């Protein structure tokens, strides 16, 4: 879908539908909604008086214009209570409105700039949120479905602005929103792919293609190179699969070469059966998405390159499968990570932290700082925070606060969990330097404490997206399946560092 800013009168748009809005409790609409109401002979005011339109958040009311306007339909979108109105409200209502109109077969849609009037929202940010919500909300993954969809797609969304002087500002918001939303949908595509279409080799190929298209540098390390580097933890996880592991390195160079590059590390388990410690069969199909952190990093690098951000960023994605083959890692085995630390493997299903251990060691070898890792790491984080919040832990409070703020700007909720020294006790091993799981209690925290052994004193934040990478139901611009979580947070963080 193409999103454009046009100058004009919303009441005179020759499109399939026009979207206006209403805050909860407003009895006499003003602004663009008031102009549309007047063109419709007071129809909106009458429906408010009759209680059919209340303005509640995500409320959608369809009005047929019956020749009173150039458009055939007007959609009144409820914005909710004005004191609770946010940029995410705009994303939400635009996703709902666009999906509603797609079902009606509408091809061209016009909308006002929601929230830029009495809502008090910055016009550029409002245009960005409109674009993000629309593109994210209309996402579909139909690559492997042969049946034609019942409804076509919306081809064009027009953001209508009467004030010509604001057009350039709105266009900047649209551009930013498009880059962020399309990058997120790119990650969703990768995550939604079945594991037989997204092997470690396929993931490396995607990264190489992104690098070619967006002017990035990409290197893929093979098994022998990993062995020479001493990546015993990553190779230990990989040994049960016939698919060769790949260690993907993506560089974006837009800043001062004298400054260390921001390091983004993404878990790339293209399928996780749990290995010898095999998972229950229920919902194991979702483990094709255990590479969501890696997908988020690749997509974020794509967006950062599109923004031409004045910063250096390196993405590291250790990619492998975790399967119970004849050569698979066994409970009780001891591995040696790249930094020489030995690890007792007490549970082969705690494999994500093993491959991230070597990736974090490599990040430190490259001198990357600060570091953010993104991983579908623990069921414990899913239990603690559900599917609403991503968990954040790290060794630098100031940095964690910046990551959380970057998430807030994108509508991605992040909640910090503690990383107290006392939790390290649970990771102690009797036969090695450390073991790969600290037991049932505080599982998300002890997993992060494990990673802290490898990030060491480099400023570092760990994002556990185990509960947020996948949605079992549709919620506004979050569709069933892959969410693409963390892409926009990573990009916002990088842009704020420039």
- Mean pLDDT for the chain overall: 97
Q: Are 252 and 395 members of one domain? A: yes
Within 10 angstroms of residue 278's Cβ, the number of other Cβ atoms is 14
By residue count, the chain amounts to 498
Domain CATH code at residue 116: 3.40.220.10
pLDDT for 385 equals: 98
- Label residue 200 by pLDDT band (50, 70, 90): very high
Q: Are 174 and 246 members of one domain? A: no
Res 310 pLDDT > 90: yes
Domain end among 181, 208, 225? 181
147 carries an active-site annotation: no
- Label residue 96 by pLDDT band (50, 70, 90): very high
Question: Is residue 198 one of the residues assigned to a domain?
Answer: yes
Among 73, 246, 353, 435, the one annotated catalytic: 353
Question: Is residue 291 one of the residues assigned to a domain?
Answer: yes
Whether the bond into 370 is cis, omega within 30 of 0: yes
Q: Which domain holds residue 442?
A: 194-496
Res 409 pLDDT > 90: yes
Q: Are 168 and 200 members of one domain? A: no
Cα distance between residue 207 and residue 200, in whole Å? 11
Q: Are 135 and 201 members of one domain? A: no
pLDDT for 163 equals: 87
pLDDT for 116 equals: 84
DSSP bridge partners of 213:
none
Structure tokens at 41: 């002979």
Q: Are 57 and 176 members of one domain? A: yes
Structure tokens at 255: 């800043």
Domain end among 131, 147, 181? 181
Res 150 pLDDT > 90: no
Domain end among 113, 146, 181? 181
DSSP bridge partners of 249:
219, 316
pLDDT for 120 equals: 87
Q: Are 458 and 484 members of one domain? A: yes
Question: Is residue 187 one of the residues assigned to a domain?
Answer: no
Q: Are 271 and 144 members of one domain? A: no
Q: Are 208 and 348 members of one domain? A: yes
Cα distance between residue 151 and residue 168, in whole Å? 33
279 carries an active-site annotation: yes
List Cβ neighbours of 281 (8 Å cut-off, separation of 6 or more): none
Question: Is residue 350 one of the residues assigned to a domain?
Answer: yes
Res 244 pLDDT > 90: yes
Res 198 pLDDT > 90: yes
- Label residue 174 by pLDDT band (50, 70, 90): very high
Q: Are 170 and 209 members of one domain? A: no
Question: Is residue 110 one of the residues assigned to a domain?
Answer: yes
Among 253, 279, 341, 424, the one annotated catalytic: 279
Res 223 pLDDT > 90: yes
Cα distance between residue 400 and residue 462, in whole Å? 9
Q: Are 119 and 209 members of one domain? A: no
- Label residue 113 by pLDDT band (50, 70, 90): very high
Q: Report yes or no: 453 and 357 within 8 Å, Cβ to Cβ.
A: yes
pLDDT for 183 equals: 98
Question: Is residue 165 one of the residues assigned to a domain?
Answer: yes
Cα distance between residue 328 and residue 198, in whole Å? 21
Question: Is residue 188 one of the residues assigned to a domain?
Answer: no
Provide Rg for the chain, Cα atoms.
Answer: 24
Question: Is residue 189 one of the residues assigned to a domain?
Answer: no
- Label residue 118 by pLDDT band (50, 70, 90): confident
DSSP states of 237-263 as a string?
Answer: HHTT-SSPPEEEEEEEE-S-TTSPPEE
Q: Are 243 and 290 members of one domain? A: yes
Res 78 pLDDT > 90: yes
Q: How far is CA 418 from CA 141, 444, 461, in A?
A: 37, 10, 12
Cα distance between residue 45 and residue 219, in whole Å? 61
How many domains is the chain partitioned into structurally? 2
Q: Are 155 and 210 members of one domain? A: no
DSSP states of 273-304 as a string?
Answer: --TTSPPPSTTGGGGGGTTHHHHHHHHHHHHH
- Rounded mean pLDDT of 316-341? 98
- Rounded mean pLDDT of 410-421? 97
């Amino acid at each position: 879908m193409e999103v454009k800013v046009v100058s004009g009168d919303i009441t005179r748009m020759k499109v399939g539908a026009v979207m206006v809005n209403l805050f909860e409790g407003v009895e006499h609409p003003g602004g663009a909604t008031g102009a549309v109401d007047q063109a419709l002979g007071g129809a909106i005011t009458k429906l408010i008086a009759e209680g059919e339109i209340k303005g509640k958040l995500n409320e959608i009311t369809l009005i047929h214009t019956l020749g009173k306007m150039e458009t055939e339909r007007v959609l009144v979108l409820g914005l909710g209570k004005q004191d609770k109105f946010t940029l995410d409200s705009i994303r939400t209502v635009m996703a709902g409105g666009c999906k509603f109109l797609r079902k009606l077969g509408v091809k061209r849609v016009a909308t006002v700039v929601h929230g830029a009037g009495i809502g008090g929202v910055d016009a550029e940010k409002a245009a960005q949120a409109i674009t993000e919500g629309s593109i994210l909300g209309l996402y579909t993954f139909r690559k492997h479905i042969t049946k034609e969809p019942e409804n076509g797609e919306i081809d064009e969304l027009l953001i209508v602005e009467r004030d010509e002087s604001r057009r350039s500002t709105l266009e900047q918001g649209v551009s930013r929103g498009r880059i962020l939303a399309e990058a997120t949908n790119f990650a969703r595509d990768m995550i939604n792919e079945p594991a037989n279409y997204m092997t470690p080799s396929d993931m490396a190929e995607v990264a190489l293609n992104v690098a070619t298209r967006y002017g990035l540098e990409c290197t893929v390390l093979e098994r022998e190179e990993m062995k020479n580097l001493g990546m015993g933890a990553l190779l230990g996880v990989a040994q049960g699969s016939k698919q060769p592991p790949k260690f993907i390195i993506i560089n974006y160079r837009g800043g001062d070469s004298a400054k260390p590059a921001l390091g983004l590390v993404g878990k790339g388990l293209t399928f996780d059966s749990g290995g010898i410690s095999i998972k229950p069969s229920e919902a194991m199909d979702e483990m094709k998405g255990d590479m969501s952190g890696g997908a988020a990093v690749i997509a974020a690098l794509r967006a950062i390159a599109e923004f031409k951000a004045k910063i250096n960023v390196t993405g590291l994605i250790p990619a492998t499968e975790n399967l119970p083959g004849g050569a698979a890692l066994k409970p009780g085995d001891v591995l040696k990570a790249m930094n020489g630390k030995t690890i007792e493997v007490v549970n082969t299903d705690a494999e994500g932290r093993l491959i991230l251990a070597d990736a974090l060691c490599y990040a430190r070898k490259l001198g990357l700082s600060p570091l953010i890792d993104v991983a579908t790491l623990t069921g414990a984080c899913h239990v603690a925070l559900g599917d609403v919040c991503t968990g954040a832990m790290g060794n630098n409070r100031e940095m964690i606060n910046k990551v959380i703020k970057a998430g807030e700007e994108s509508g991605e909720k992040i909640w910090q969990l503690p990383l107290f020294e006392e939790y390290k006790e649970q990771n102690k091993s009797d036969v090695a330097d450390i073991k790969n799981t600290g037991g049932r209690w505080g599982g998300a925290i002890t997993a992060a404490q494990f990673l802290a052994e490898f990030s060491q004193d480099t400023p570092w934040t760990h994002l556990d997206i185990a509960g947020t990478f996948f949605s079992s139901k549709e919620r506004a611009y979050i569709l069933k399946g892959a969410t693409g979580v963390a892409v926009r947070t990573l990009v916002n963080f990088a842009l704020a560092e420039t």
